[in-house]
Structures are given as structure tokens and as C-alpha cells.
Chains A and B, each alone.
Chain A
Amino acid sequence: MKRFLKYLLAYALLCVGAFIVLYPLIWMIFEAFKEEKYALSIAILPNHFTLESLKDFYTFSNFSKIVNEFNFGKYFLNSFIVALTSSIMTVLICTMGGYAFAKKNFVGKNFLFNTFLATVMIPGMMFMVPQFAIINKLGWINTYKAMIIPHLANVFGLFLMRQYIHQIPDALFESANIDGASEYQIFKKIVIPLTMPVVATLFLLTFLGQWSNFLWQLIVNTPDSPYLTIPVGLALFKGQHSTQWTLLMAASCFSVLPIAFLFILAQRFFIEGMTQGAVKG
């Protein structure tokens, strides 16, 4: 009996906790479908539950409005392009560099390794001003490349790949060498296929990071830039229509729902990838 009560208590606590943690998400979804006149009500269902009142309460028009009048389709596409390109390029660059660090000896290896490591200790905010200066001098304001290229040298990603490639047996590389495989072939036929699990992790981490990168994308775009991403577009929209909560939440759905949906499909992969990535790196 005592044991049963303990379980009951644990479940009750966990359920309440989960509700609190997920509340913003739940609320966002309901609000995004509400008619504007009910925007400030905390109810998620109409008072009298009939088909008519449901039709009066809920609508899809917020979504069409946010796409047709406020350009969020375009923002979504921009976010997707930036996040996808960044992830593919980061993974490629870090796998190449990680391979060199894991399986090669070269002049300056230790020096470079320690220099890279030191960079991790620097708070990211510190790079804001000088990176902006470089982008500005290069004339890259309002471009995709300004949002993508500065983040490609992912030191954490390099270490992650190095650790993983390090575990691949040397014998594999030696026999490939004896068979006369070129470096390019070794990279393509051995390194890439064998590192797939961690490639996927790094890809995911980079994608999520860039999908919700706000500060950098805010400062390298002017408000009239054609390349605004969702968070920046949302900030702009919020500045002009701060009281239109139903539209604001419909716009938020564009950012949150695809990721949440992916998470539900592959949650094990997300959780293990993100936490192991953090610990190993």
C-alpha cells in the first residue's frame, strides 16, 4: 500500500511537471487556431460546445494571413536553406578536419589542437562585434552566406568527429593504403560510411542551432532584407503588431511545429545525440 501511494505521488508530480513544461507549446497551438476576438481568453474550448460555436471559435485563417500578408512562407524557406546548408557544410568540414586530427601526423598538430580548444572557452557574444565588422567589410550584409559561413568552423564538431574517427582501427586504413587507395577514396569509402552515426548527431545539432539562431541573423540583416529567417521575421512582426496574439502564435507554429514533429518521430535519436554530443565534446 505504501509502495502504491509512492508511485501514485511520483506519477502525479511527473504529470503536473510535464504539463507545466509543455504548457507554452500547448497554449501556442490552441491560440494559433483561435478567432481574433477570443485571443485574450485563456479558454481552449468555446463555452457552449456545439458545431457552430466551434466554427466561431476556431479558424485556419491565421495561418493563411501570416503566409499571404506577412511573408512567413518566405521566412520559413530562408530558415530552412540557412539551417540545411550550414549543417551539410559543417559536417563535411568537421569530418575532413577530424580525420586529419585523428589519423594523421603533421607539423603543428598539437599547437592547432590547443588553439582550437582555447576558443571554446570564449563566450560567443565576444565574437559579435568583430564578426560583424568582417561581414560588413566583405559587403555580405543581407546575404545567405553571411548567416552560414561564419559558423562553419565548429570546434565542438571537429572534436566530436576526431573522437569518433580515432576509434576506427588503423588496420583498415593500412590495408586500404596497401591496395593503393587514394586519400580521396579512403575518405569517401571508409571515413564517411563509418562515421554516419556521429555525422547524423552533428548534422542535427547544427541544424537546430541555426534554426533558432537569433542574434547573428538579426544583426547581419537589415529589416528590409529578403533573407530574413523565422525568428528575425517574428521579432519584426512582434515589433509592429505586438497585440495580435493569434497571428503571432500562428507564426510561432512555423518555427516550432516542424521541429517538435521531428522530435516526436525520432526522440531517442535527438536525446541521445544532443546529450552525448555535449558530454563528449
Chain B
Amino acid sequence: MKRKENLVSYLFLAPFLLVYIVFLAYPVIYSFFLSFHKVSIYTDMFDVFRELKFVGFSNYIQIITKDYNFWWSLVLTFFYAIMTIPAGIFLSLFLAIMLNNKLKGKTFFRAAYFLPNVLDMFVIGTIWVFIYAPTFGIIVRVLNFFGITYFNSTGLLGNPYTALASIGFAMVLKGCGFGMILFLVALQNIPESVYEAAKIDGANWWQELKHITIPLLKPVFLFLIVTGIMAGLNAFTEIYAMTNSSGGPNIVIAGKTMGATSISGFYLWKQFDFGRYGYAASISYVMLAIALTLTYINFKIIKPYGD
């Protein structure tokens, strides 16, 4: 009987397990193997990994000691996360609090803010390229109206100081509806009686927000921070769509020329695109270490479910 249940279970699990092993488990190991190798010069797009050369730790050493572009990409990723995560949370929470009132047309607003979430990232990015464009883009025109002509020749995405922030802004607008719904659901789960009790104790709205609402929304905060970090580390499509395959306008820091939007996910793709597969694999591992550390720290600091 026991053996039969084992067999049946594994039969049901077999398709999932097969794909999992081939395309998720094995890649983690293979990537580790690859990170100690270099791919020789290849010519055939259809058989790229024919010749691998063992290079020991040299990929990792190169990343840690010489590759300033990689460290720059981490700095940019950090900036990107610092810009988008709090802004996204703030905007989502703000919208949720507004919509938590008894308003007519609530369903319409809910849908309107959520809609951009379901749409294709590359397409939305492409549309924003026009919005941010020099001379004819709407943002530049609005700025001109206020007498600001600084962006007329480059647009917002062509200026190294605004390029990444502009991408972040577009992505916050695209994503805020999602967080809004999460906050709305959490807000509606807070019993009315808690607020009534607070009112009797003479709490004002700020105290209510600080001592009741925000603490009870903790799991949502944690969720948005963790997914935000993941999105930052995985950010590629929005960068590719909005500043092309170049990694953005050049910026010169300490005598080195670097791409102003070349954040880590994009940099990883760039290495891949150059055919440096072994090197890209080792970058993946360094990024994995960073991602796991950050997630661990998050859970330690926020403690979503009490102590």
C-alpha cells in the first residue's frame, strides 16, 4: 500500500519534477561549473558551449578586483531600489487610503490604477521613450512651458543624471496599482472597533496611522520590499526598452566612463550578449549571494509575524 502511494505520488509529480530538474535545479549546478570556465571564441550560434576552458577562480577575481563596471552596476541597482521601492510603497499606500473611503466610482479608480500592471513591460517602456523624448516629448514641452529648456536636446532619458530616475518613475506608475490593492485588502481587514477604541482614547489621525494602521500593514510592507528588491535585481526589460542596448548615456566617475542606466541585471545581460558566458555565470553567483543576504536581513529587521 505504502509503495503504491509513493509510486502514484511520483507519477503525478513526474512532469513537474522533470522540468524542474532540467531547467531549474541543473542550471544552478551548471552555472556554478560554468563560472570557473571561459567559453572559447565561438562562431556557431547554435552550438556555443562546445569548447570550455577551465580558468579557476579568475572570473571571480576579475569581478571583485578589476571590474569597476560591475560595482557601478550594483551602485545603480541600489539607487534604483532606493528610488522605486519607497516611492512605490508611498504611492500605493496613499492611493489605498484614499480609496478606503466610501467614494462613488471606487471600482473605476481601482481598475484604472491597476490596469498598467497587466500590460507588457517592453511596450510600456517604448511608449515612455516618446513621453520623455527631446523637443517633441510631452514632459519636455511641459518643462518648456515653465521655462526649463535644460532637457531640450537630450530628453530625460538622454541625460545621465535623470535617465535612471525617469525609468524608475515610469515603473512606479506602472506598478503602484498592485501595491494599492494589497494595502486596500489589508486595510479592510482591520476591524473598525480598533479605530473606535483609539478615538475614545483621544488619538488623532496621525497617531492612528502610526500606531494602528502602519503596524498592521507590516506583512504588506515586507512583501513589497522583498519583491521590490527582486525586481531591482532582475530589472532588464525596462532598461532595454527605454535606453536601448547601450546601457544609457555615458557618465564619467573617477575617470571611468560608465553607462548611467547599466544596472546589474542589465550588466549581466550585456556580458551574456558579448559571449562571456563563464563570466556572466560568475556574476550570477555574486548577485545570488547579495540577493540572499538582503532577503535574510529584511526578515530579521521587519519580523512580519512578530517575534
Contact B116 A24 (CB under 8 A): yes
Whether A126 lies near B284 (C-beta < 8 A) is: yes
Q: Are B268 and A153 in contact (CB under 8 A)?
A: no
List B35-87 residues whose CB lies under 8 Å from chain A.
45-49
Residues from 107 to 135 in A contacting B, C-beta threshold 8 Å: 107, 109, 112, 115-116, 119, 121-134
With an 8 A cutoff between CB atoms, is B16 at the interface? yes
Interface hit among A58-66, A168-176, A195-203, A207-215: A207-215
A126 nearest CB neighbor, chain B only: B284
Q: Which residue of chain A has the shortest Cβ distance to B136 in the bound complex?
A: A40
> Cα distance A248–B130 when bound, in Å?
10
Which chain B positions have C-beta within 8 A of A263? Answer: 111, 115, 118
Q: How far is the CB of B157 from chain A (nearest CB, A)?
A: 13
Q: Is B101 part of the binding interface, using a Cβ–Cβ cutoff of 8 Å?
A: yes
Total cross-chain contacts (CB, 8 A): 272
Contact of B13 among A31, A100, A132, A256 (CB under 8 A): A100
Minimum CB–CB distance for B280 against chain A, Å: 5
The proximity string for B residues 244-281 relative to A, scoring 1 for CB distances below 8 Å and 0 otherwise, is 00000000000000000000010011001000010011
Could you tell me if A13 and B19 are in contact, using CB atoms closer than 8 angstroms?
no
**A window 49-93: CB within 8 A of B:** 92-93
The reply on B167 being an interface residue by CB < 8 A is no
In the bound complex, residues from chain B placing their C-beta under 8 Å from that of A153 are: 16, 19-20, 23-24
Give Cα distance in the complex from A259 to B115, angstroms: 9
Point out the residues of chain B lying under 8 angstroms from A31, CB to CB.
130
* List of A residues within 8 angstroms of B115 by Cβ: 21-22, 25, 260, 263, 267
Q: Which residues of B have CB within 8 Å of A234? A: 122-123, 126
Q: Does the CB pair B127–A123 fall under 8 Å?
A: no
Stretch in B148-156, B172-180, B201-209 touching the partner: B172-180
Q: Measured between C-beta atoms, what is the minimum distance from B204 to chain A in Å?
A: 16
Number of A residues, CB within 8 Å of B: 92
- Per-residue CB contact flags for chain B residues 101-126 toward chain A (1 = under 8 Å, else 0) read 10100010111111111111111101
Within 8 A of B (CB), among A4-62: 7, 10-11, 13-14, 17-18, 20-25, 27-28, 31, 40-42
A128 touches B268 (CB 8 A): yes
Residue of A nearest to B121 (CB): A212
- Whether the pair A259, B16 counts as a contact (CB closer than 8 A) is no
What is the chain A residue whose CB lies nearest that of B288?
A126
Could you pull out 14 A-B pairs where Cβ atoms are within 8 angstroms?
A21-B176, A25-B116, A100-B13, A115-B25, A129-B280, A130-B281, A133-B27, A139-B46, A152-B15, A153-B23, A153-B24, A231-B237, A234-B123, A278-B178
